[in-house]
């Protein structure tokens, strides 16, 4: 008994000591984070230059990563927020102490609608009669698209510039699944709904090839027109350069054809900038980054009129756990519904802009968010600003808004749904040798969305198709009601077809071509706010360091990012296997293969 009491007491003491150490550790971590959180206003010195590092992944909104920052972890998947980049460029244009914009381009991952937003901000910056200079050791096509708007485009003498056109290379997994004994039973509505082809086909259907050809051609034409206008090079010439593989051509070729203006090494750039600043070439150039400039209190707006900007990016899921399994918990319907309900009740918020960059996801979650958008619209204007993609379930939730703004290169529409139901009976019984027997009271008592004992029969597949058909009819009705057109008109442009923003305007799926500035302007107008007398408030709210710490401890997000980097093209098949048992079978999703830039 004495031994039991002694050991029990020791255990309790040990737990208490461990708890004290953990709390003390959190206090130390929190203090370190607080001290390292450089949020003090930045003083911008005279003759300063805004430096934009155009590299890494550009997302719609990027909150500070307190954990990695404090630990000094190198971020292999560097991310920047589009809102931070554009906001800094706009501030720099109005700041008298900033004389120019220096774009330092590198390896870049972003969609063309995102790049259009940045490029337009650069063009607006030039209207302030300040210069823009771009430099790179290597220009990716997407980076060059932005940098071509600069006054001067500089390149390392041994550098490269990639201009190759746009392609889309879908991956087909039918044979891979067959090798492990899995067959996907697919039911869908819409001949253009191509997301399921990866499970059932070995190549693109003619319908998918038709729509893909159209949207990549439309995007490429926008890129060509913009570069042509800025660089004063004909579109025909640009196409010839792309066919001649500019990435393998020397700097002399690039300069001869006016794709660049000058060659310089990296350590010579500051001297060149000093000539523009009319200073001695050996002086240090005062550079200010986007993050630092955004911390400046200069030009900050405080108003009783607030416009909420709600960022929606990634897959649409019902809950955080589903998103974690899929490697993407971007738009969680349960959280977004709560957030929109709070915004609706906040009388200080006069209008809402929902920024969407998503290929959709869970059909039920999309319906939940659509319902909240409609309820929100009943109390205040709701404007959708579409990024690179707002398709399928993402278009579903957008359809209930007051007004929709899209870029010409936005991929949208894809009005259709599908269901993918894994038949794993061959895997379980033939590959693994597991046998099943069965006793049941009704003929479908052993039916399961994830079949392991037997394939689906014809009657069950008919029921599944009817279920999907009802979902499609509801989707079409939501679009018809929101866009104030007939269901017949919706079905003529639906069938799961993907449209660019330019086409979507013509067929009345969107109301206006533009980006966030146009969306905010429309929201202010609809809310009867005059003279831009409003303050923007970003949602969802940024997580505190403690929330980041607890979430990091409970998720494998960092591991997932490293797997994406390591596996490359094999990442998607890996995720597919992980998703089979967890993903909602009914999806309003548009699978667009990453368009190379």
Residues identified as active-site: 193, 392
Q: How far is Cα 56 from Cα 54, in angstroms, rounded to an integer?
A: 7
Neighbouring residues of 90: CB distance < 8 A, sequence distance ≥ 6: 121, 124, 125
Neighbouring residues of 178: CB distance < 8 A, sequence distance ≥ 6: none
Helix, strand counts (H, E) of the chain? 24, 21
Paired sense of beta strands 535-539 and 331-332, if any: unpaired
Q: Supply the DSSP string of 503-530, one letter for each residue.
A: HHHHTTS-SEE--HHHHHHHHHHHTT--
Which helix (H) or strand (E) segment holds residue 53: the answer is strand 48-59
Task: Work out the burial of residue 540: count CB atoms within 10 Å of its CB; fewer than 13 is exposed, 13-18 middle, 19 or more buried.
Answer: middle
Tell which residue, 471, 424, 436, 430, has the closest CA to residue 581: 424
CB burial of 102-135 (b: ≥16 within 10 Å; e: otherwise) equals bbbbeebbbbbbbbbbbbbbbeebbeeebbbbbb
How many residues belong to the chain? Answer: 597
Q: How far is Cα 318 from Cα 584, in angstroms, rounded to an integer?
A: 9
The DSSP bridge partners found for residue 211 are none
548 neighbors 65 (Cβ within 8 angstroms): yes
- Dig out the tokens for 367 from the structure: 């319906």
Separation of CA 202 from chain center: 28
Residue position matching structure tokens 């390896």: 107
Collapsing DSSP to helix, strand or coil, 411 comes out as: strand
Neighbour count for residue 169 (Cβ, 10 Å) = 10
Task: Work out the burial of residue 212: count CB atoms within 10 Å of its CB; fewer than 13 is exposed, 13-18 middle, 19 or more buried.
Answer: buried
E strands within 268-341? 286-289, 306-313, 316-317, 331-332
360 neighbors 415 (Cβ within 8 angstroms): no
225 neighbors 235 (Cβ within 8 angstroms): yes
318: left (phi over 0), alpha (psi -120 to 50) or beta: alpha
Residue position matching structure tokens 């809102």: 83
E strands within 73-151? 79-81, 98-109, 131-139
């Amino acid at each position: 008994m004495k031994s039991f009491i002694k050991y029990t007491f020791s255990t309790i003491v040990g737990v208490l000591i461990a708890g004290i150490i953990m709390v003390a550790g959190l206090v130390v971590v929190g203090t370190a984070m607080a001290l390292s959180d450089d949020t003090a206003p930045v003083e911008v010195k005279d003759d300063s230059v805004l430096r934009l590092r155009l590299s890494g992944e550009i997302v719609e909104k990027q909150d500070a990563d307190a954990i990695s920052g404090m630990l000094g972890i190198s971020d292999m998947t560097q991310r920047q927020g589009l809102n931070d980049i554009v906001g800094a460029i706009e501030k720099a244009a109005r700041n008298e102490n900033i004389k120019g914009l220096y774009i330092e381009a590198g390896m870049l991952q972003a969609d063309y609608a995102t790049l259009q937003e940045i490029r337009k901000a650069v063009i607006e910056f030039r209207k302030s009669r300040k210069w823009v200079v771009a430099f790179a050791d290597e220009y990716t096509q997407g980076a060059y698209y932005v940098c071509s708007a600069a006054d001067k485009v500089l390149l390392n003498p041994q550098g490269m510039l990639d201009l190759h056109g746009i392609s889309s290379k879908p991956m087909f997994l039918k044979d891979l699944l067959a090798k492990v004994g899995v067959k996907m039973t697919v039911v869908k509505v819409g001949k253009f709904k191509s997301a399921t082809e990866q499970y059932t086909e070995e190549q693109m259907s003619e319908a998918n090839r038709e729509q893909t050809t159209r949207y990549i051609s439309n995007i490429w034409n926008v890129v060509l027109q913009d570069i042509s206008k800025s660089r004063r090079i004909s579109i025909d010439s640009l196409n010839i350069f792309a066919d001649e593989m500019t990435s393998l051509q020397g700097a002399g070729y690039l300069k001869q054809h006016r794709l660049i203006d000058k060659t310089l090494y990296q350590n010579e750039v500051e001297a060149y900038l000093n000539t523009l600043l009319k200073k001695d070439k050996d002086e240090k150039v005062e550079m200010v980054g986007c993050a630092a400039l955004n911390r400046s209190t200069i030009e900050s707006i405080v108003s009783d009129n607030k416009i909420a900007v709600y960022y929606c990016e990634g897959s649409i899921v019902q809950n955080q756990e589903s998103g974690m399994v899929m490697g993407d918990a971007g738009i969680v319907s349960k959280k977004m519904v709560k957030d929109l309900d709070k915004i609706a009740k906040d009388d200080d918020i006069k209008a809402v802009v929902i920024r969407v960059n998503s290929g959709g996801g869970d059909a039920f979650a999309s319906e939940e968010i659509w319902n909240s958008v409609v309820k929100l619209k009943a109390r205040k204007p709701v404007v959708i600003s579409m990024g690179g993609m707002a398709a399928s379930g993402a278009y579903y939730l957008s359809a209930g808004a007051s007004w929709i703004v899209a870029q010409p290169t936005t991929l949208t529409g894809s009005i259709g749904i599908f269901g993918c139901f894994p038949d794993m009976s061959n895997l379980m019984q033939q590959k693994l040798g597991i046998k099943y027997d069965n006793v049941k009271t009704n003929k479908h008592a052993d039916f399961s969305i994830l079949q392991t004992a037997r394939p689906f029969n014809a009657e069950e597949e008919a029921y599944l198709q009817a279920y999907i058909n009802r979902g499609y009819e509801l989707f079409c009705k939501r679009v018809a009601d929101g866009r104030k057109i007939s269901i017949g008109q919706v079905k003529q442009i639906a069938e799961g077809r993907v449209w660019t923003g330019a086409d979507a305007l013509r067929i009345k799926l969107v109301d206006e071509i533009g980006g966030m500035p146009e969306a905010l302007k429309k929201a202010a107008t609809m809310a009867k706010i005059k003279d831009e007398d409003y303050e923007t408030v970003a949602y969802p709210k940024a997580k505190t360091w403690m929330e980041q710490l607890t979430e990091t401890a409970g998720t494998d997000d960092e591991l997932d990012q490293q797997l994406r980097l390591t596996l490359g093209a094999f990442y998607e098949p890996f995720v597919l296997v992980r998703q089979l048992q967890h993903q909602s079978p009914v999806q309003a999703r548009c699978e667009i293969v990453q368009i190379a830039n």
